[in-house]
Amino acid sequence: MIGAMRDVIVAANWKMHTTPADAGELASTIASRTREAGVIRVICPPFVCLQAVAQAVADDDPPVAVGAQNIHHELVGAYTGEVSAPMLAGLATWVILGHSERRRDAGETDELIGLKLGRAVDAGLRPILCVGEQLADREAGRAGGVVDEQLAGALERHDPTALAGAGLVIAYEPVWAIGTGRNARGADASAMADGIRASLEQRGWGSRAADVPVLYGGSVTSTNIDEFLAEPAIDGALVGGASLKPDEVAGIVARAGMTARARGGAR
Ligand code: PGA
C-alpha cells in the first residue's frame, strides 16, 4: 500500500510519569531536539501535566501537539476522578483511546471505547485508537481477527466521514510488545496495517481507508524504529518508555523525518 499522502506521526505516551514541576522542561527539551519538517509530533503527558506541557511547547515550530491519554465517555456528571473531552479545551488537541493498559486495568471494552471516540470527535480532539492482540492470540494465528473485532466494536455506529474528518489515527500495539523490550517484526506490523485498512474498507470506509494513518507501538526505540518506518504501510510510532528519553525521541523523530521527506512532506 502506498503511503504517499498520509501524515507521518510520532506520538509520545508518557503514561504515569512526570509531574507538573518537571514535565514542561522535558517537553521543551524534546521539542528542541525533534524539529523535523513534515513530522507531526504529539506529546501525551498525564492530565495534571497537560498545562505545563502545553505552555512549554506553545511556540515551538513546527508545532508540537499535546494529547491526553484518556477521556471519559460522558460529558459531565457524577463520575468521581474522571475527565471529559470538553474539559481538555485549551489543554490538548489529541487523545489516546483504548490503550491496552486501560483495557486491562480499567476494563475498557470496545463498545466503551467507541463511546469515547464519539466524545473525542465532538470535542474536536484528534483520536489515536489503540488496537492489538495478546501473545496467545498471535501464537494461535488469531491476531488479525482480534484486531478486526476491536475495530468493529469501537467503530460501529460511527460515520466514517466524521471519523476521517477528525483525522482518526490507528495505533497497532501488540500487547506482548508493550513495555517488554520485545518488539514486533516490521513485516508483521506492516501486514497488520494492511489488515487494519482492509477491515475499515469493508466496514463502510471504502477508499478512505487508504488515507488512515497507522502507527506501530510496542517497545519502539531509536534503534528499532527503522524496521517499522521502512514499511510503507506504517506511518509512525506511538512510543512509551523511550518517549521519556530525549536522545531516544530525537533518534525516532529523525528517522520519521526521512520517511516524511521520502513522501514529499506531510499534509
Ligand atoms: P512502550 O509503550 O513503548 O513502552 O512499549 C508503548 C505504548 O504503550 O504506547
The per-residue DSSP string of 185-247 comes to PHHHHHHHHHHHHHHHIIIIIGGGGGGS-EEEESS--TTTHHHHHTSTT--EEEESGGGG-HH
pLDDT at site 265:
54
Give CA angle at 71 (169, 235), nearest 5°: 15
Q: Which atom of ligand 1 is nearest to the CA of 219?
A: 5
pLDDT at site 145:
97
Average pLDDT for runs of 10 along the chain of length 267: 75 98 98 97 98 97 97 98 98 98 98 98 98 96 97 96 97 95 93 98 95 97 98 98 98 98 73
- Do 69 and 85 contact (CB within 8 A), yes or no? no
Give CA angle at 233 (93, 147), nearest 5°: 75
pLDDT at site 153:
97
Judged on CB neighbours under 10 Å (0-12, 13-18, 19+), 84 is: middle
Radius of gyration of the chain (CA): 17
Give CA angle at 98 (196, 95), nearest 5°: 100
Catalytic position from the list 36, 72, 73, 99: 99
- Ligand 1 centre to CA of 88 (Å) is 23
Q: Atom 3 in ligand 1: which residue has the minimum CA distance? A: 240
pLDDT at site 264:
84
- Ligand 1 centre to CA of 218 (Å) is 5
What is the rounded distance in angstroms from the CA atom of residue 129 to the CA atom of residue 114? 9
Residue 82: active-site member: no
Specify the pTM. 0.96
Termini Cα distance of the chain: 18
What is the rounded distance in angstroms from the CA atom of residue 139 to the CA atom of residue 214? 23
- Do 215 and 12 contact (CB within 8 A), yes or no? no
- Ligand 1 centre to CA of 78 (Å) is 31
Residue 201: active-site member: no
pLDDT at site 183:
87
